[in-house]
Structure 1
Amino acid sequence: MRTIEVSEVTRLVRQLCIDANYYLPADLRQAFVDGQNAEESPLGKTIFGEMIANCDLARENNVPVCQDTGMAIVFAEIGQDVHLTGGSFEDAVTEGVRRGYIDGYLRLSVVGDPLRRENTNDNTPCILYTSVVPGDKVKITVAPKGFGSENMTQMKMFTPAATKEQIVDFIADACIHAGSNPCPPIVIGVGLGGTSDKAAYLAKRALLRPVDQHNADPLYAEMEQQILDKVNASGVGPQGLGGTVTALACAIEPFGTHIAGLPCVVNISCHVTRHAEGEL
């Protein structure tokens, strides 16, 4: 049994909030370069160039890559051989988000109640997902999510008789109809199966996959490519101003489901699909 003080959790979450907002993953920056090369619209190519420059300037100057620094989504994998001491794990994560957003001069965008709409002024509460895994380590991933893209989320409860083509069309149409709202080129996360809430979780989790990787299962890898082809043929283009690259990647995460159902959730991310991870 390994003991970890929750103050270390706070320290790590604080740093990950800052890192995720300042430094885009290398695979995503490369996708910008590849997208610029593939884009046929001159304006689209220029937009990709601005995206690359913005990514590099944020890293060089240690500033947020986007003014909407999002709501903090935190995924924590807690080893079953870890003993956490010194307080509540959830409180430690929340404190880490509070410190990260204030110390990192990140925009504070969270309200404490959905109807009263009063800003908490520290970007809490965050969204925390925990899972217990083998081992004696704690892995934490922080994925800030802006709401220009989050508001484009779509869900459909298909019947088991739905065809693969109908599912592909629903996902592609959700992305195409989102238009410029999610700041394309987008990354598409899809949760398929489980229950409605599980599918939503899977869709969000799918956005953590490196953008240069397809699902290991050929069935879902083929669907991902079909969705990409449809979305990129739409002409929405970078920032919705027309072009041939509207989406950079599509990730489908499937899960077992009930014989009477087939939930599908589409969670769209903007071109700055941010996340940072660390381990204790």
Structure 2
Amino acid sequence: MRTIDVAKVTETVAQMCKNAAYYLPQDVYEGLKAGRETEKSPVGCVVLDQIIKNAEIAREEDRPICQDTGYTIVFLEVGQDVHFEGGNLEEAVQEGVAKGYVEGYLRKSVVAEPLFNRKNTGNNTPCIIYTRIVPGDKVKIDMELKGFGSENKSGVKMLVPADGVEGVKNAVMEIVKKAGPNPCPPMVLGVGIGGTMDYAALLSKKALLRSTKKRNDMPEYAKLEEELLEMINKTGIGPQLGGTTTALAVNIEWAATHIAGLPVAVTICCHASRHAEEII
């Protein structure tokens, strides 16, 4: 049994919030640079130059990549041989998010109640926490800072098994085309296939944690990722003002599902695909 003080979790989460807001993951940055080399639209090239320069300034000056510093989503993998002391684990995570957003001068974007008064909580909490118990004595923390310009263009389609692969492609493309340039492309797409309506959406969020350079381990899904990326980049949506670099990657995660169902969820992320990972 290993004992971890929850204060360690709070400090780790706080730093992760700042790191994710300031430092674009290297794979995404390199994807933008590669897109700039192949972009065929002159206007698209100008936009990509600006996006790349923005990411570089953010990293050099420890400033947020975007004014929308996102809704914080935290994925915890907690080893079953870990004992926490000093407080409650989820409260420690929430405290870490609040600390990181206040100390890091990150925009606070969370309202306590969604419909009637929409009062801002002032520290970007509560964040969303998903927890899994896994073997071992470590705690793995993955974090996304999810902007809502792109979140608002995401979607779920409830297909039937007869729709098959072509149905999945059509569902993804319908969501992408409807979104158009509004999610601030070049995008990274997380696609969840299987499970239930809600679990497919969760899978699509987890897919965004994977490197844009790593394809799905199952060859059939890896091929589908590549096919969808090619289809999306042929839409002409481009980097916000038209072009050939609409998306940097399509990451698919899948799960078992019911014999009568084929849920498909698409989480669209803008070019500021911000995430971080730490292990305690």
TM-score where L is the length of structure 1: 0.98
Aligned residue in 2 for 1:161: 162
Aligned residue in 2 for 1:234: 235
Aligned residue in 2 for 1:211: 212
Distance 2:146 2:35 in 1: 22
- Amino acid of the residue matched to residue 2 of structure 2? R
**Percent sequence identity over aligned pairs:** 53
Which runs of no fewer than 5 residues in structure 1 stay unpaired? none
Aligned residue in 2 for 1:259: 259
Structure 1 position 173, deviation (Å): 2.1
Distance 2:273 2:121 in 1: 24
| CA displacement 1:72-110 (0-9 Å, x = unmatched) | 011111111100111111100000000000000000010
Equivalent residues of 2:189, 2:247 under 8 A apart: yes
Aligned residue for 1:76, secondary structure, equals strand
Aligned residue in 2 for 1:198: 199
Structure 1 position 134, deviation (Å): 1.2
Equivalent residues of 1:236, 1:244 under 8 A apart: yes
Q: Does 1:69 align with 2:76?
A: no
Structure 1 residue runs of 4+, over 3 Å off? none
Distance 1:54 1:3 in 2: 41
Equivalent residues of 2:80, 2:135 under 8 A apart: yes
Aligned residue in 2 for 1:223: 224
Count of residue correspondences: 279
Distance 2:128 2:164 in 1: 33
Aligned residue in 2 for 1:114: 114
Aligned residue in 1 for 2:9: 9
Equivalent residues of 2:201, 2:265 under 8 A apart: yes
Aligned residue in 1 for 2:138: 137
Distance 1:200 1:73 in 2: 13
> RMSD of the TM alignment (CA)?
0.8
Structure 1 position 126, deviation (Å): 0.2
Aligned residue in 2 for 1:176: 177
| CA displacement 1:36-68 (0-9 Å, x = unmatched) | 011100111111111111111101001101110
- Amino acid of the residue matched to residue 44 of structure 1? G
Aligned residue in 1 for 2:276: 276
Aligned residue in 1 for 2:37: 37
Equivalent residues of 2:138, 2:279 under 8 A apart: yes
Distance 1:196 1:169 in 2: 18
Equivalent residues of 2:171, 2:264 under 8 A apart: no
Aligned residue in 1 for 2:126: 125
Equivalent residues of 1:188, 1:268 under 8 A apart: yes
- Amino acid of the residue matched to residue 229 of structure 1? E
Equivalent residues of 1:169, 1:227 under 8 A apart: no
Which runs of no fewer than 5 residues in structure 2 stay unpaired? none
Aligned residue in 2 for 1:246: 246
Equivalent residues of 2:159, 2:167 under 8 A apart: no
Aligned residue for 1:208, secondary structure, equals coil
Distance 2:47 2:273 in 1: 17
- Amino acid of the residue matched to residue 248 of structure 1? L
Distance 2:278 2:216 in 1: 23
Distance 1:250 1:208 in 2: 12
Aligned residue in 2 for 1:147: 148
Aligned residue for 1:161, secondary structure, equals helix
Structure 1 position 204, deviation (Å): 0.4
Structure 1 position 197, deviation (Å): 1.0
Distance 2:60 2:38 in 1: 26
